[in-house]
Structure 1
Amino acid sequence: MEKIYLDHAATSPVHPEVLEVTFHVMKEHYGNASSIHGFGREARKLLDEARSVFAKSIGAKPIEIVMTSGGTESDNTAIIETALSRAHFGKHLITTAVEHHAVLEPMEYLESMGFEVTYLPVDETGLVHLEDLIAAVRPDTSLVSVMYGNNEVGTIMNIQEIGAFLAETETYFHTDAVQAYGLEDIDVKQDAIDLLSVSAHKINGPKGIGFLYINEEIHLPSFMRGGEQETKRRAGTENIPAIVGFQRAVEITEQERSKRRETYDGFRNQLIEGLKQAEIDFEINGNETHYLKHILNIWIKGVSSEQLLMNLDLLGIGISAGSACTAGNMEPSHVLSAMFGKNSPRVKESVRVSFGLGTTTEMIDEAVKQLSVVVKRLKHS
C-alpha cells in the first residue's frame, strides 16, 4: 500500500519549486550578505527582496522582519527578551494553558528567574475568553502571548479582540502564528499585534528558517550574540538559500490560500463523513466554528491513541496524537488536559489528522478504511 502522510501540522513536504530555487541560490549566490563586494551585494539583494515579501504577507514593514531559525527561536526571542528588557516595567506575564512548548518553556524559565506567569484557562473548544484575559492584566503585565491557532486541535483564538484590548494598555502582545500563517489572513497592524512568530517548514518551505515580526516601535536586545546582522537584532550569517526558499513558499501560499482552505475543509468533511459511515464512535476536539482548515483532532472512544498510531504506522499511515515536539514521548496532551481535564479519556484516546501538499481524496478514503479496520480490531482485542 502507498504510504499516506497526514501529519502536515508537524511538518510539511518541501514544495518542488522551493527545492529548485533553494538549490539554485545555494549554488549560484554563495556570498555573505554582510560582505561589501559584489558577491555579498547579490546575497543582500536577495535577502532584502525576501524580507519585503514576508513583511507584505502580514501587513508589516520590511524593517520589522527579523530572520530566525524558525518558530522556536522566534517565540523564545519574543518572550524572553521582552520580559528581561521590560523587567523595570513589570515582571508579570500572561499566556494560555494550551500554547506550544516553545512558548510554555520560556515562560517556565522566566518563572525560575523570579517572573510571575498567569496561565489562562480555555473552554472545552480550546478558546480563551476575553473576559479572563481582561481580568488577568495588571499594571505590571509586560507581555501577553496567545497563539493564533492551536497546533493540536486547530482552534483559532480571538486575536483581533485581544489585540484591540491590549492596544489600550502598556502591555506588549505576542502571538505564535506558526500554524496559522499561510492559511489565515493576518494583518499585524489591524490586529494590533506587537510580535509575531512564523516558521517556514509548516508551509512547504525549508526547515531551520523563520522570522519574527517586531513592531518598529519596540526595541528588543538581540537574543543571539556575535555579530551585527539583522540591524543588530539577530547575530549570525543569514541563510540566504533557505530564506529565498521560504520566500517562494510564501509566494505560492499567497496565490493558493483560498483554494487550499477550501480543499482542506473538503478533506476534513470527507474524513468526518467517512468515520460516520463506518460507524466509528468519535467526537471532534476543538472549536467547530473558528478552526484551522488543515487540522482535525478526533476522540475515538475506547481506543488508545498510542496503540492506534502504532498500528496505522505499520500500515504506512502517518498521523499523530498531538504536537510533534512531544509526540515522541507519547505524554498526555497538555492541550486536551486543559480543555477537558487530566482525567478525561479524551486525553489518551485522541488523534490529530492534518492535511497539506500531496494529500488527495483517495488518501483520505484509504486512511478512513484502514483506521476503521484498526479501531474495530483494537476494540475487540
Structure 2
Amino acid sequence: MLSVSVSMFVQSQEEAEKEVAEFLMKALKYCDLDTPGPRQPIYQFRAATIHHRLASLYHKTYRTLPADDARRKNMLLLSRLHYEKSSCLMLQLEHPLEFLRVQLERVALSEFQAQNASTYGGKLKPLQMALDLLLQCQPMLKVILEQAQAARVSLFSGESEQAHDECTEINPEIQIAREQNVDETCVSNVCEGSADETVKATEYSVHDTVTDKGMVHNSKSHTVDPTEVESILKEHVGNSGCDNREGCSKETQRNSGSDVPQNELENKEELAEEEEESSLVRLVEQRLQFVLRSLTKLCLSKTGSAKKDKESGNLAQMYKNLYSMTLRDSDKDTMSALVSHLVEVLATVNSVLSLQQQVTR
C-alpha cells in the first residue's frame, strides 16, 4: 500500500513538472527576441527569467532523481542549457543581481555533480567548470562597482547643494536683503501713478492704521499725507509678505509631507536591494574560496611519483596560491572594497589559468 502511494506521488510530481515545463515553453515562444524596438529589452528580460525558471526546475529534478535513473543525464543537460541562455541574456541586459543569482545556481549544480562523482576526473572537471562560472562574474562585478561609484558621486553633489541652500537660508544678511528687495518691489508697484490716486485707492484700507498712529484725519476731505501713506504701505506690505511666506512654507511642508510614505517605500526598496546585492557578492567570494580549496585538496590527494601525479601536484600548488589571494585581512570592509577585491582576484585567477593552459599545450 505504501509503495503504491509513493509511486502515485512520484507520477503526479512528474506530470506536474512536465505541465509546468510545457507552459513555460509556450510563454517563451511569445517573447520576440529578434525584432528590434522599444519592447525588445522587455522580451529579453522575460525570456531570461523563463529560462532561469526552467533551469531551476530541471536542476531540482536532477538532484531528486536516483543515481541510476536514465532521465538524470537529460535533466542535467537541459538545466545547463537553460542556465546558459538565461545568463547570456542577463549579461547582455546588464542586470547584475539576476546574473549573479543564475551563476551561483550553476556553480551549485557543478558542485553537486562533483560531490556525487567517485573518480578523480569526475570530480576535477565539474570543479573546474564551477571556477570558470565564477570567473564569468567579473564583468557584472565591474558594473556593480561603477554603479556604486556613480551613486557616491551623486550623493556627494546632492549633499553639497543641500549644504549650500542651508547656509543661504541661515545667513541673516542674505535673508534680510531678499526681504528688502521684495518689499521695495511691492511698494514701487503699489505707489505707481499720482499721489492723489494712491491716496484715493488706499484711504479706507489705511484709515485705522492712521488713526492708531495719531495722524490727523479730516472726515470731510478724506485726504492723507502721501509720505505717511507710503510708510504705512511699507509696513503693511512687509507684514503681508511675512504672512505669505509663512503660509507658503506651511503649504510646502504639507505638500512634502504627502510624499513621505512614498519616499520611505523607495528607501526600503533600495535598502533591500543593497542587502541582496551584498549577500550575493559575499556568496560569490565564499564559493570562489570553496572551489579553490576543493581543487587544492583534490589535486593533493592525487600526488605521487608518476608524471600525471606530478602535474596534479603543480595544479595543487597553483590552486593553493590562488586560494591564498582570495583571503582578506578583515571582514569589516565596505561593499565597494569587497567588489574591488573580487574583481582584482578574478582577473588574476583568469590570467594565471590562461598562462597555465598555454604551458600545458
Whether TM-score is above 0.5 comes out as no
Q: Which one has the bigger helix percentage?
A: 2
Q: Which one has the bigger strand percentage?
A: 1
TM-score w.r.t. structure 2 length?
0.20
TM-score w.r.t. structure 1 length?
0.19
The answer to which structure, 1 or 2, has the higher relative contact order (CA under 8 A, 6+ apart) is 1
Larger Rg: 2
